[in-house]
Chains A and B, each alone.
Chain A
Amino acid sequence: MSEPNIVVRDLTKKFGSFTAVDRISFEVPKGEIFGFLGPNGAGKSTTIRMLCGILQPTSGEARVGGFSVATESEEIKKIIGYMSQKFTLYNDLTVEENIDFHGGIRRLPSAVLAERKRWVLKMAGLVGRERTLARDLSGGWKQRLALGCAILHRPRIIFLDEPTASVDPASRRDFWDLIYELAGEGTTTFVTSHYMDEVERCHRLAIIYAGAIIALGSPRELKIRFAGAESASLEQVFVAAIRGARTA
Chain B
Amino acid sequence: MIRRIGPLARKEAIHIRRDPRSLFLAIGLPIFMIVLFGYAITLDIKHVAIGVVDQDRTALSREFAAKLAASAYFDLKLTLDSPAGVEKLLDEGRVKAVVVFPSGFARDVAGRRDTSIQVLLDGSNNNTALIAMGYISRLFQKLATDLLAEQAAREGAAGSAAAGGGAVAPGSLPSVEPRIRVWYNPDLNSTDFIIPGLVAVVMMVMAGILTSLAIAREWETGTMEQLISSPVRAHEIVFGKLLPYFVLGLAQLALVVGTGTLLFGVPLRGNLFSLLVASSVFLLCGLGIGLFLSIVARTQQLAFMLAILLTLLPAFLLSGFMTPISSMPRIIQAFTYLIPARYFIIMVRGIFLKGFGFGDIWRELLLLAAFAAIVLTGCVRRLKLRLD
Contact = CB atoms under 8 A, between A and B. Distances in A.
> Closest 5 A-B residue pairs measured CB to CB?
A104-B7, A82-B229, A88-B226, A86-B222, A88-B223
Nearest to B230: A105
A82 B223 CA distance: 12
Interface string B3-47: 110111011001100110000000000000000000000000000
A220 interface: no
Interface stretch (A48-56, A164-172, A178-186): A48-56
Interface residues of B, number: 26
11 contacts: A52-B229, A55-B386, A82-B226, A84-B222, A88-B226, A90-B15, A92-B14, A102-B230, A104-B11, A105-B4, A106-B230
Interface of A: 49, 52-56, 73-74, 77-78, 80, 82-86, 88-93, 97, 100-107, 150
B223 A54 contact: no
Contacts of A52: 229
B226 A78 contact: no
B133 to A, nearest CB: 56
Contacts of A53: 229
Given A49-B387, A82-B229, A92 B223 contact: no
A93 B19 CA distance: 11
Nearest to B227: A105
Interface string B200-232: 000000000000000000000111011111111
Contacts of A56: 386, 388
B214 to A, nearest CB: 13
Contacts of B18: 92
B4 A104 contact: yes
Given A77-B231, A101-B7, A104-B7, A90 B387 contact: no
B229 A54 contact: yes
B15 to A, nearest CB: 6
A8 B18 CA distance: 44
B220 to A, nearest CB: 11
Given A88-B221, A101-B11, A80 B229 contact: yes
Contacts of B227: 105
Contact of B14 (A77, A88, A93, A103): A93
A77 B387 contact: no
A53 B229 CA distance: 7
B229 A90 contact: no
A74 B11 contact: no
Given A78-B231, A105-B232, A55 B11 contact: no
A101 B11 CA distance: 7
Nearest to B221: A88
A7 B15 CA distance: 40
B312 to A, nearest CB: 25
B387 A104 contact: no
Contact of A105 (B7, B222, B225): B7
B119 interface: no
Contacts of B15: 90, 92-93
A82 B232 CA distance: 14
Nearest to B16: A92
B11 A93 contact: yes
Contacts of B346: none
